[in-house]
Amino acid sequence: MKTKDLIAEAISLPVEERAIVVDSILRSLNPPAFDIDRKWAAVARRRLSELRSGKVKAIPGEEVFSKIWERFAS
């Protein structure tokens, strides 16, 4: 099977199945590092806990991106 035929067949799949194909191909190029994933999950849990407890305050995304644009707009 030629690459273009394979791509055409993949594109014809329902969106959920295409997402699975894409994810599988990307994982073959960059295999997951489970130890790093575990550390990121721990950070996410800690940050969520801090947010829920009121220890930290959420900043709206619009504000964050506005500051980024201001900083790099030159």
How do residues 12-28 score in pLDDT, each as one tens digit? 999 999 999 999 999 99
The string of DSSP letters for 17-74 reads: HHHHHHHHHHHHHS---HHHHHHHHHHHHHHHHHHHHTSS----HHHHHHHHHHHH--
How do residues 36-52 score in pLDDT, each as one tens digit? 999 999 999 999 999 99
* Of residues 55 and 30, more confidently modeled: 55
Going by C-alpha positions, the residue among 10, 8, 9, 6 that lies closest to residue 21 is 10
* pTM, two decimal places: 0.50
